[in-house]
Amino acid sequence: MTNKKPWGGRFKETTDSRVEAFTASIHYDRRLFRHDIAGSIAHARMLMKVGIITEAEADRIVSGLEGICDDMEKGAFNFRQDLEDIHMTVESALTERIGETGGKLHTARSRNDQVALDIRLYLREEIVQVIGLIGRLKKTLVETAKEEIDTVMPGYTHLQKAQPVLLSHHLLAYWEMFHRDELRLHSCHERVNVMPLGSAALAGTSIPIDRAYVAELLDFPSISGNSMDAVSDRDFVAEFIFDASLIMMHLSRFCEDLILWSTDRFDFVEMADSFTTGSSIMPQKKNPDVAELIRGKTGRVYGSLMSILTVMKGLPMTYDRDLQEDKEPLFDTVDTVKSSLEIFEALVAALAFNEERMEEEALEGFAAATDVAEYLVTKGMPFRKAHQIVGQLVGYCLDQKKDFAALRLDEIRNFHDGATEEIFQYFDIHASVERRSSVGGTARDAVLRRIREIEDSYGSV
C-alpha cells in the first residue's frame, strides 16, 4: 500500500502495489518530460492571463517547473512508480517545491488533454527530425547517382534479367520512394500540429480559458474543434507509424538489393568493412549485418502499426486507459526509423560498386531482346509477331550456347528473312540504354535531366 493519489479523494483504500506496477507508465513516458513541462508553463501563463491565478502565482509555478525540468535534464530527479505517469510526477514535484500554489496548475485541464498535448508536441519535433534524415539520404542517393552516371547494369523483373539500365536510374528509383515518404510526413505533420489542451477530460471546461493564447505560446497553427475527439484521437499516431512503416519498407527493399548484390553470385557492390561484421567461427566471412538488421526491424515497425490499430479498433468514446498503450509503439517506431535512416545513409555513402561486373552481367541474358523486337516494329511488323520472332531467336541462341553478339546474319534470317546488318546495332546494351529517352526512362540524358530537376527542387518539399 502506498501514498495517497492526487485523484484519491473518493477512495477509502490505498492502491495495491501490484496495481501501481501494472498501471504505471512513468518508466517510458518520462521521455515526455520536456513537452509536459512546456505545456504546463503555457497553461500557467494562460491561467494568469485570464485571471484564474495571479502573476506572482504564475511566476512561482513557472520557476518551479523550470527547476524540475533542469533537474530532469541533468538526471538528478527521482522518478517514482507510485506517481504513475509524467503528468502526476511533475505536478507532485511542483507542489513539493512551491506548496499549495502548485495545485492550481491543473485548473481547467485533465490528464486526458494533457497527454494528447504531450504526444503532439513530441511527435511534431520527431517528424521534423525524420524528414531531415530522409533529406540527407536523398542527397546521398543523388550524389551517388551522379558519380555512377555511366555505369550500366542489368535491370530485373521476377529476379530474372530483363533490360539494361543505368545504376543511377536504379538508385534514383529509391530517391522517388523516399521523396514520397517525405511528402507523407509533411502532410502528417499538419494533422499532428493541432492543439488539444483545453478539452479537459472530454467536455471542455466551464472556466473561461483562452485556448488560442495557449496555441500561440506553443506554436500551434490550429486548435482541436471537438473536445471528445481531441482526448480520444490517436489517428495521428497511427498515421505516423504507417508512414514510418512505408519508410522501413523502402529501406528494407533497398537493403535486400544490397544484400543480394554483395553476394559472390552478383558481386555488384562491396559494403565498407565499417558497416559489416564477421563470423565467430568462419574467418573468411563478411556479413551485411546492418542491412539485414534494417530488413528485420521493418517487421518491428509493422508490429507497432498493428498494435496501435488494434488498441484503437474497439474503444468507445472518449478516453480509455487502453490509450496508455499508444506510447511504447510510437516511441519504438521513432527510435527505429531514425536509427535505421541514419546508419543506412552512412552505409550508402561508403558503398563501392563493381562497375565492370555489372556491365558484364548486363551483356548476358539477352537483355537487348526487347530492343530487337521494337526495331522490327519500326519496320512495320506487328509487335506480337516481332515478339515471337525474337523469342524464337533467343531459343536458338540457348540451344547453340551463344549470345546475340555471336550470331551471323544468315542465322538471323532463318527467323526473319528481311533482316539486314542494321539489326546488329540493336544488340548493343549501351545503345539500348540510350534509346530509353522518354521522360522517366533510363537513358543518360533522361537520368541527368531528372537529377537536375531534383537539384533545382532543393529547398522546397
- Assign domain 361-456 to its CATH architecture: Orthogonal Bundle (1.10)
Per residue in 200-239, pLDDT tens? 999 999 999 999 999 999 999 999 999 999 999 999 999 9
Q: How confident is the model at residue 1 (pLDDT cuts 50, 70, 90)?
A: very low
pLDDT at 2 over 60: no
Would you state the pLDDT for residue 459? 56
Q: Residues with catalytic annotation?
A: 158, 279
For residue 458, the model assigns a pLDDT of 81
Q: What is the DSSP string of 328-394?
A: HHHHHHHHHHHHHHHHHHHHHHT-EE-HHHHHHHHHSS-TTHHHHHHHHHHTT--HHHHHHHHHHHH
Q: What is the mean pLDDT of the chain?
A: 95
- Phi and psi for 194 in degrees, rounded to 5? -125, 130
CA–CA distances in Å: residue 244 to residues 180, 182, 232, 237, 286: 12, 10, 22, 11, 29
Residue 156 has pLDDT above 50, yes or no: yes
Kindly report the number of other CB atoms within 10 A of residue 366's CB atom.
20
In whole angstroms, how large is the CA radius of gyration of the chain? 31
Assigned superfamily of 112-151+164-214+221-355: Fumarase/aspartase (Central domain) (1.20.200.10)
Report which of 147, 165, 182 is spatially closest to residue 457, judged by C-alpha positions. Answer: 182
Q: In the structure grid, which three cell numbers stand for residue 352, read together?
A: 563501392
Q: Are strands 160-166 and 194-195 parallel, antiparallel or unpaired?
A: unpaired
Do domains 8-107 and 112-151+164-214+221-355 share one topology? The answer is no
8-107: what CATH class?
Answer: mainly alpha
Q: In terms of DSSP bridges, do strands 352-353 and 194-195 run parallel, antiparallel, or are they unpaired? A: unpaired
- Cell numbers that stand for 384 in this block: 506480337
**pTM metric for this prediction:** 0.93
* pLDDT over 70, % of the chain: 98
Residue 340 has pLDDT above 70, yes or no: yes
Domain ranges of the chain: 8-107, 112-151+164-214+221-355, 361-456
